[in-house]
Amino acid sequence: MKSYIKSYHKLSKFFVVLMDILLIHAGYILAYIIKFNFTFPERNFMPYYTLIPQITLFALVLLNIYGLYTITMKTISEIAFSLGLALMLLQFLTVVSTFFYRHFAFPRSIFIIAFFVQFLLLLGWRGLVLYVFKRVQGVKHVLVVGEMPKAQEFAQKLQNISKGWIDVKYVLEPTTIEELIPYIKVVDTIYLYSKMDENLKSEIVRKAIEFKKHIFIAPDFRDILVSRARVIQFDDVATLSIEQPELTSEQKLIKRVCDILLASLALVIAFPIMLIIAIAIKFDSEGPVIYRQKRVTEGEREFYVLKFRTMVKDAEKMTGPVLATENDPRITRVGRFLRATRLDELPQLINILKGEMSFIGPRPERPYFVEQFKKLYPEYSLRHNVKAGLTGLAQVYGKYATSPEDKLRLDLIYIKNYSVFLDIKILLLTLKTIFTKEAAEGVKTQKE
């Protein structure tokens, strides 16, 4: 039965991709029919016809980046949100392509009509896929193994995001493999979270494979550093070559050129918005428009990060360095809006042009917190092997209240897996994060 489901998933994914391509182009054809009533002129249709390969490529990349080929653990509203963003960007990239290829006869109204038609077609198709997947896969029973209370907190997160796809049946502390085997046998999926004895972890993995169970492991920092290691042969002995987690000189050069070009363009586009924000801040509360704060970047160099002020003047005069909390009374009315939309970060485009930051990278932290985190996690210094970023993997996959340990995992994964495509993916996912309320909320008060 499990082999059947596995084969079904492989076949179904191919079918979903194929249907996506057909529905994307059906959306454009229907848009032409709606506009021209079956008699659309050749000069207006040929630009679309010649751009079919580019549109197909853009569509597949965007749908993949926005997670639309991972149906499980999602609701129809989440799918609709991601689909809307992907299709808006598809129209934008297609418009850009018409300028690049000088296809000026491509009617601009077609893009607007096509967006709505494609959205309805693909959302209906995704709804059907969601229904079928859920019926075929059913509810997965889960076992979480890890130290308390971390394992319990992780299990609660799983249950909260499960959307009816999984059911956390057991949350157990790591003991002996003999005690865990009865639980391993009766669940579908096993999650190993937090540190545990390496021998026990190996035994759990072996038993999971033996009983054909799906297993997920939250990596410790050593696991991340070992990932993507090269296999080097010394005579008949295979070894893993673990390199320093950092960017090559060529990668740094490409990244810097992209930063300069993107930051310059973004500053020109954002200047009118920044001017309006500055006026709003001045009218809303007393204090400077720009807030300068010491942060740490590549090589543990300190610099002053620039942000639009979102809190009252001298907010930390009495408290000292503290993280913002949910419903923090120090945040101003304008500041609350700026934080929710991430517009308070716009002045950091200047930090990027100065070479103190990059568009993508670990978020710069304050020296006080850096020292605290280095005591807790010796690997924390490794995140300073690259420049601090305006956004990063921890920002698009985490939340403001995500633990420093989990954020560090994501930062190290980014450094170890760096590529230009990964930077593009994070940049596009940041657009989605801007509209996600949870990602901007402060830490919960009870956790302070």
- pLDDT single digits (tens) 263-292: 999 999 999 999 999 999 888 888 888 988
Across the beta sheet with 166-172, what order do the strands follow? Answer: 166-172, 140-145, 189-192, 214-217
User: Alpha helix locations (H) across 103-196?
Assistant: 108-137, 150-161, 177-186
| Ranges 22-31, 49-58, 229-238, 275-284: which has the least confidence | 229-238
* Contact by Cβ (8 Å): 17, 60: yes
In contact, 439 and 345? CB cutoff 8 Å? no
Percent of the chain as helix, strand, coil, to the nearest 5: 60, 15, 25
- In sequence order, what DSSP letters do the residues of 226-260 get, joined into one string? HTTPEEEEETTEEEEE---SS--HHHHHHHHHHHH
Q: How far apart are CA 202 and CA 177, in angstroms?
A: 10
CA 140, 145, 149, 153 dihedral sign is negative
Distance in angstroms (rounded) separating the CA atoms of residues 61 and 397: 19
Say which residue the tokens 């807030």 belong to: 291
- Strand-pairing partners, residue 190, are 143, 215
Q: How many CB atoms within 10 Å of residue 209?
A: 10
- Give residue-wise pLDDT tens across range 292-332: 889 999 999 999 999 998 887 766 665 566 566 556 677 88
Which residues lie below 8 Å from residue 226, measured CB to CB, with a gap of 6+? Answer: 240, 242
- Cβ atoms of 154 and 193 closer than 8 Å: yes
Q: Are 80 and 122 in contact (CB under 8 A)?
A: no
Q: Which of 442, 448, 435 is nearest to 399 (CA)?
A: 442
CA distance 306 to 18: 46
3-class SS at 153?
helix
Contacts of 368 (CB under 8 A, 6+ apart): 321
Sorted by sequence, the CB contacts under 8 Å of residue 3 that are 6+ apart come out as none
Model confidence at 359, pLDDT cuts 50, 70, 90, reads: very high
| Amino acid, single-letter form, for residue 273 | I
Asked if residue 107 has a cis previous peptide bond (ω within 30° of 0), the answer is no
Q: How confident is the model at residue 168 (pLDDT cuts 50, 70, 90)?
A: confident
How many whole angstroms separate alpha carbon 273 and alpha carbon 292? 20
Cα(355)–Cα(179) distance, rounded to whole angstroms?
Answer: 55
CB 305 within 8 A of CB 291: no
> For 104-157, how does the pLDDT look when each residue is reduced to its tens digit (9 = 90+)?
788 888 999 999 999 999 999 988 888 888 777 778 889 999 888 888 888 888
CA distance 194 to 157: 14
Instruction: Say what angle helices 198-210 and 177-186 make with each other, to 10 degrees.
Output: 30
For 350, phi then psi, to 5°, come to -70, -40
In the predicted structure, residue 32 carries a pLDDT above the cut 50: yes
How would you label 335-363 residue by residue, b for 16+ Cβ within 10 Å and e otherwise?
Answer: bebbbbebbbbbbbbebbbeebbbbbbbb
Q: What is the pLDDT of residue 445?
A: 42
Q: Please compute the mean of the pLDDT values over residues 241-263 and round it to a whole number.
A: 90
Strand, coil or helix: what is 29?
helix
Question: What is the rounded CA–CA span in Å between residue 138 and residue 131?
Answer: 10
pLDDT one-digit tens code per residue, 365-393:
999 899 999 988 888 999 999 999 999 99
**What whole-number distance in Å separates Cα of residue 384 and Cα of residue 367?**
12
CA distance 267 to 275: 11
The answer to whether the CB of 381 falls within 8 A of the CB of 373 is no
Picking from 421, 424, 422, 426, the residue whose alpha carbon sits closest to that of residue 397 is 426
How confident is the model at residue 335, as a pLDDT?
83
Distance spanning both ends of the chain, measured CA to CA? 48
Give the tokens for residue 424: 């593009």
